[in-house]
Structure 1
Amino acid sequence: MTPMHADVPAEPPTDGEAVAPRFQVHAYPLALRIVSSVLLVLSTALVLHASERILFATFTGAMNPKPPALAGWLALLALVLFGLTRLIRWLTAATFSVEPSRFVLQRRGDRFEIPVTSVESVRVWRLPLPGAGLSLRMQSGRGFQYALQVADPLPVLEAIGRDGSQTSAAVRHPLTVFAHARAMIVRRRWYRLALKFVLFPLLPAAAMFYTHQSITYGGPFGQYQWYGLGPYLRTFSTYWIFSTAVLVLFASLWRVLSELVAFVAVWISPPYARGVRRFVEVACAVLYYVGFPALLAWQYLQ
């Protein structure tokens, strides 16, 4: 036997493996997709409700205000529900391969081989929850038992429908164009969320805290000198939480409006989808990181 060295190429894969595009997806049975969607909607609603409670029930005339306890419980419940959605995503992780004569779905020990001829069409999700995705419609008239969530359905659809017979309608659908433009422009990272909703709120919180300390205690360290470090930090955390809640509501309002604008633009003129998406993301960032501090500064100068 001839020994194999690092610079000796291995045997090429089979023809099917050589040309088979493979995609990371999440394979949902219908019931689990419904559960995940409901959990996602509920967790979002709880965060918004908690932020609303903080906004309207924190400063009620008390000398040492604090966020309402209900908001904390709502936020904790939202975190639990969000954790469940992440668990479901982990459980549904799968790969979807497009081979010349079959589609192969592999998920946690299960392997499904679907002959291309048995698929009548591929349909994009009309309700993109818990995210964008697509479903296989079989020749029997029934849907395949797993629906596939994928951030960008377009590459999957293009791989499936090389001849255009199964996916032509889905490729042109506004929801596909909308999801593709979003996937190309938006890159969600945990550290960006941390910057947006943890670190950045420190700036308006520090400004409001400084004003409060100067007016109430005669200087930026007045409360610390009179009452100690604990009450001083609790007051600062109150302003930090309050600032975060205001920014969450502010960002949510503009996000809803911008997504509506982006979708209407895609529906009217699909070729401009990426340009509109880029404009929307830049506008949201400017409004958040520049517009809100400017609004706060204007308010304090009145």
Structure 2
Amino acid sequence: MNGPLIALTGATGFIGRHLLAELPKRGYRVRVLLRRPAEVPSGATSAVIGDIAQPFNMAAALRDVDAVIHSAGLAHAMSGLPEDDYRAINTQGTLGLARAAERAGVRRFVFLSSIRAQSGPVSETILTEAMAPHPTDPYGRSKLEAEEGLARLGLDWAALRPVLVYGPGVKGNMASLMALARSPWPLPLGGLKARRSLLALDNLTAAVEAVLRAPGPLRRPFIVADPEPVTVPEIVTALRAGLGRGPGLLPVPAPLLKMAATSMGRREAYERLAGSLVASPAALAELGWVPVTTTPDGLRRLAAEPPSSGG
């Protein structure tokens, strides 16, 4: 196999595992960069041990590499961490690896950023890359600062800003929604009207390949989202369809839901559930990205998968 050689960080994470499985099918060789000794993950051409937070000697890891895909980092779900922790890993670790890639002559650096580099958890307007970014938490700020640092380097780069990603092994908010959908009870969510953009893992993989293959230079961020935003009732309907069930939704008015959530001390969770966040992937589509699944189809397939028994 003599396809392009990709150096991949975060190969044991939710997104990285999927990229490691899919990229070889598309003709890429993958060298994983691991923090600690372990068996080479299935699908990897080779593995190199190293700490991206201290990339003082990455010459061997990046030798002959065509592109770096950097998916490692502190996740948004790791709440309560000091801002300095996010900055050390998500900003300084990213830039240290990017500088090493520049020294090694790597053709392109693909950074898995986040829509939170662009916006808070809700937005009243459709998000595009042309809008001034306004992250609202340490995680989002650390991702935006990494993008800004990449812009000061000489290598070609692309930052992908995915919205909430769903697929096998998903955790966090989408896992909570899946648990609700799997419950046998009717859900009082039928009255929620706000639309949100989601992103299938397969569509994210197609986006990564689109920026890998695009003629350069790119040197910019790209929003990644399934083309059509959906409501929470549409999400539950699709998930329950994958389970072979009807929607089971009760049209409880949103103000009553908000009042109930507030009384239980869950107002912030309600605001995230009921708020709108629509992001446009138009710039990525202009680059040649073609999504491979729709959100309803992707959610139906996800729900039809057997529940994971692992942690």
Identify whether the pair has TM-score above 0.5, normalized to the shorter chain.
no
Bigger-Rg structure (1/2): 1
Q: Normalising by the residue count of structure 2, what TM-score does the alignment of the two structures yield?
A: 0.28
Q: Normalising by the residue count of structure 1, what TM-score does the alignment of the two structures yield?
A: 0.29
Q: Which has the higher helix share?
A: 1
